[in-house]
Structure 1
Amino acid sequence: MRLFLLFSLLCISIASNAAVYRWVDENGKVHYTDEPKENAELVEINQNTQNTAELNTLKRNSPAQEKPKEQPTLELTIVSPIHEETIRSNEGKIDVTVGVAPRLPKGVLLALFVDGEIKAQPQTSTLFKLSGINRGEHTIVVKALDQNGKVLALTPPRKIFLHQATVILRPTPRGN
């Protein structure tokens, strides 16, 4: 059985090394075939003949040569309240207006921080209405955040004072 298999493989390898003939017809068209034709010539094929092709590759600029896209610098300012302003509100209400230059890019949100804690949900509006703020000195900062929470810009800290009037009930003297 092994001998038969070896003989079959030997025959296949000899048959695969068949001759190639080249001939030209009456119209001048070149043909190739494995059967000899009239006026056909035998084409010698070297064993180490290899077809090669060169690919035209696109030349890309190296990262050092590429110019990064310039992102416009986002500038935020607190328009109101003004620095060290005293706000009188018994309910602890403060309205904060933010100026943005240039326009707020798509997907960027503004977040308001009072004394380092976020006090309003991030939003696209430049007007924040706060309530329930306790009396005293507070520092306000507004940050521009991208979708991942990265800070793109922030305002300089703004110090404000919230004044709430109090009524101290004193017992009234009773006459004897």
Structure 2
Amino acid sequence: MRYPALLWLVLIAASAQAAVYTYVDANGNRVFTDQPGKGAERVPMPTRSGTSAPATATPPRTGKVAVPSKSTVMRYQMLRILGPLPDTAVREEDGSLIVTLTSEPALQPNHRYRLLLDGEIAQAPGRSPVFALSNVDRGTHTLAAEIIDQDDHVIERTPAQPVHLQRISLIQKRRVHPCRTADYGVRPECPLKDKPEDD
């Protein structure tokens, strides 16, 4: 098969493996063909480089879910002080006060409860929803509860609610439970200086 001279580049590009030959015909025209013939010379074909553009590296799949740079803040549907109830009067001789909290859902890992008394931290935060306070002054106080994360960031907080603590005075204690001889120097409301002299 003979090809016009203008198509020789197309033939070269079409197949790097097929042999292409050329010769000059009787009319002086350069002829290219894929058939070897008398006086035809084989056309050197450009060799293809074995290298290719490097493929874009694809990181291997690890099966792990990508973690966002900032963790999603978990929100609680409810945080409440179960007891004492708001505006309740609590009568305790020694000023003790038991405060119980509840949350929905339950406290999550790395989260802690924190109790505020009059706007100040009443005790070290912890995972227990029960706080036992002692020697709280008589009078009206405010209670508020918080849920904090491992970095002490507040996640949830209740409104401050009042509580009234009533403590019996030493005089009132002595009236309710009079001092006996063995009580002086033992009971706070029965100091030794008040002990009557023996007859």
Superposed counterparts of 1:141-152, under 5 Å: 141-152=144-155
Contact 1:75 1:154 in 2 (8 A): no
* Aligned match of 2:54: 53
How far does residue 56 in structure 1 lie from its aligned partner after superposition? Answer: 6.6
Contact 1:74 1:153 in 2 (8 A): no
| 2:95 pairs with one of 92, 112, 128 | 92
CA displacement 1:128-174 (0-9 Å, x = unmatched): 111011111100011101000000101121100001121449x9xxx
Q: Distance in 2 between matches of 1:82 and 1:145?
A: 23
> What amino acid maps onto 2:90 in structure 1?
I
How far does residue 95 in structure 1 lie from its aligned partner after superposition? Answer: 0.5
CA displacement 1:29-83 (0-9 Å, x = unmatched): xxxxxxxxxxxx977469xx9731342768xxxxxxxxx9683434210011011
**Runs in 1 of length 4+ with deviation above 6 angstroms?**
none
Consecutive unaligned residues of structure 1, counting only runs of 5 or more, are 1-22, 24-40, 59-67, 172-176
* Aligned match of 1:29: none
Q: Distance in 1 between matches of 2:73 and 2:165?
A: 41
Question: Does the residue aligned with 2:53 lie in a helix, a strand or coil?
Answer: coil
CA displacement 1:75-95 (0-9 Å, x = unmatched): 210011011100111211001
Consecutive unaligned residues of structure 2, counting only runs of 5 or more, are 1-16, 18-42, 60-70, 175-193, 195-199
Query: Higher Cα Rg: structure 1 or 2?
Result: 2
Name the structure with the higher strand share: 1
Count of residue pairs brought into register by the alignment: 122
Q: Distance in 2 between matches of 1:151 and 1:138?
A: 22
Superposed counterparts of 1:23-42, under 5 Å: none
Tell me which moved more, 103-112 or 70-79. 70-79
Superposed counterparts of 1:10-159, under 5 Å: 44=46, 51-55=52-56, 71-159=74-162
Change over 3 Å in CA distance of 1:92–1:106 after alignment to 2: same
- CA RMSD after TM alignment: 3.4
Q: TM-score, normalised by structure 1?
A: 0.58
Percent identical:
26
